[in-house]
Structure 1
């Protein structure tokens, strides 16, 4: 669509209730309110599907437009907007108020797709401060994957104790955060150990640069094996923990003294018979931190690194339409995707 045309309505999905995918409701003609002085109206050319609609333990409102990641073109700007012009290609910042530094009780409640209407629609109005410029080397599909998974990986590696060349990073599985962490770590000159349960996915991880790949089904005690692969068998410097309680014991077995375990999610469930206690962090002398995406300064730093290192996001070959949103969620829930799953919005 031309950047000079300003629509009055938009196709969109909203979350009504708490019944999983069945709570997704589609509308063909949702009115678009007038943008305020500091807002821009963007056409959402593509977006990356959120990991869930109602399972993440952060602020959400009923009737919200779901999904947080989006790449789009600015089609209109408010009277006092200074950061963007019509025609600019932009990406959404997950926590709209998280411009720099740490989260606080206010900014943690500004999540796109949770409290702020998200990107599962053709057009959306966003405050200019909650957007960043899209890296020019990426296409719409690639760029739409950066808002959450990429920035979470970047924050995990650089937000607390910045990754140094020659250090060891451990990633789990082949989801978006893990793949981005692998790419960022290799660009920084780190050694990467990855885990997976698939021989086919292991080969893809190696092609992406993983130095070692461990099959966690073949070797349930992969944590000790990962530690043995590190220099002097001292352990891993950075671990991106996506499994949660079911894999934390192995992460602790792999971590180096003063290493950092960044908790990203809980794909393995929220309970485990082998769930470590708080004392395990003390016993392993490490830092365990929860990570909720990242701030705008980090986003812009990451985008410069993507440009400078010619990093290309790994996007699943399957692309859905806006009307196929429920099918996209099911496809991801069934773990059929590799890398990031996208929807093309026209």
Structure 2
């Protein structure tokens, strides 16, 4: 085992990416209910970019090792650990305290890379309950993408009103959450409508199985267009909404009666003047829910589905090393990535 532990630290929320510091520390000690993991890979989410910018709406604590997503190998286990043994391949759970059922306030205080030290380091000690066994069909880099984006998509499609074969799913853009949503929906026998602003990305979406692709820059009223693509123009059953106020108005136009709009992000900004009101849910007879990743039980279900269907995450062809994390943040902030942006640690 290495004598030191190289890791990144977000010192505070006032310096932006300049607040990211790369340093060496000692390898943490393992408690009786804890597991020491040699991290092999991590991946970034939009959430990781906005934490050092002070834009993240959920609990944080500084200084903190950033990033929730990670995968690696168990090196040592505490005396009371029963679920894992040395040599097991594992992936991290986003909210370490969210084990099953609905999330509660205490669980929001256990976000990895926000309140609890995350995965941008060589070695990490995690609570036994904060890890899951990795998917057997995936590499370490692929497994490192499951913690946040994949589980969020799975929760959107299966957490409240489970997706059924033949139903229609709308995903927005080509970020990690949307692409996982596309893959999970196709594996379930659903029909997928995807939106994008790029002809090149549209082709990639079709290659991944999208049945219909709408260029939202060419079609500003894409919500109505999506609705017309469904049987009898009834609307879409599930929408994975990542744009916020910038896209929610169109999502309401696309949704089916009793459909579910899962609000996951706000990439399109938050503008109260253009944002639909709560009353719009009555006008469209639909459910709009905020999704805050998912539980350990849901993650285990998702991993079983990934293994059974041999689903492989979409990872950008450019993979950064641990020492290049600062460059990775800039690359992702500039939206140069397609799918998940990965960090190879060892």
- TM category (shorter chain) comes to over 0.9
Q: Secondary structure at the match of 1:189?
A: coil
Tell whether 2:6 aligns with 1:26.
Answer: no
Q: Deviations over 1:21-60 (max 9, x none)?
A: 1111110x21223111010100110000132242221000
**How much has 1:269 moved relative to structure 2?**
1.1
2-structure distance, mates of 1:195, 1:172? 5
Tell whether 2:142 aligns with 1:147.
Answer: no
Quote the residue 2:323 is aligned against: 323
Ranges in structure 2 where 5+ consecutive residues have no aligned partner: none
Checking the alignment, whether the CA contact within 8 Å between 1:246 and 1:272 is kept in structure 2 is no
2-structure distance, mates of 1:56, 1:154? 22
Checking the alignment, whether the CA contact within 8 Å between 1:9 and 1:31 is kept in structure 2 is yes
2-structure distance, mates of 1:89, 1:113? 20
TM-score normalised over the length of structure 2: 0.97
Q: Deviations over 1:155-197 (max 9, x none)?
A: 0000000000000000000000000000000000000000000
1-structure distance, mates of 2:188, 2:50? 34
Quote the residue 1:287 is aligned against: 287
Quote the residue 2:167 is aligned against: 167
1-structure distance, mates of 2:217, 2:164? 30
Q: Secondary structure at the match of 2:318?
A: strand
2-structure distance, mates of 1:32, 1:59? 26
Ranges in structure 1 where 5+ consecutive residues have no aligned partner: none
Quote the residue 1:60 is aligned against: 60
TM-score normalised over the length of structure 1: 0.97
| Structure 1 stretches of 4+ moved >2 Å | none
Quote the residue 1:37 is aligned against: 32
Quote the residue 1:12 is aligned against: 7
Number of residue pairs matched by the alignment: 340
1:185-264 to 2 correspondence within 5 Å? 185-264=185-264
2-structure distance, mates of 1:270, 1:44? 36
**How much has 1:274 moved relative to structure 2?**
2.2
Tell whether 2:99 aligns with 1:103.
Answer: no
2-structure distance, mates of 1:324, 1:262? 33
Q: Deviations over 1:117-143 (max 9, x none)?
A: 000100100011110001111011111
Checking the alignment, whether the CA contact within 8 Å between 2:45 and 2:149 is kept in structure 1 is no
**How much has 1:273 moved relative to structure 2?**
4.1
Checking the alignment, whether the CA contact within 8 Å between 1:95 and 1:107 is kept in structure 2 is yes
2-structure distance, mates of 1:49, 1:332? 8
Q: What root-mean-square deviation, in Å, do the aligned CA atoms of Structure 1 and Structure 2 show? A: 0.9
2-structure distance, mates of 1:273, 1:337? 31
Q: Which moved more, 1:165-174 or 1:7-16?
A: 7-16
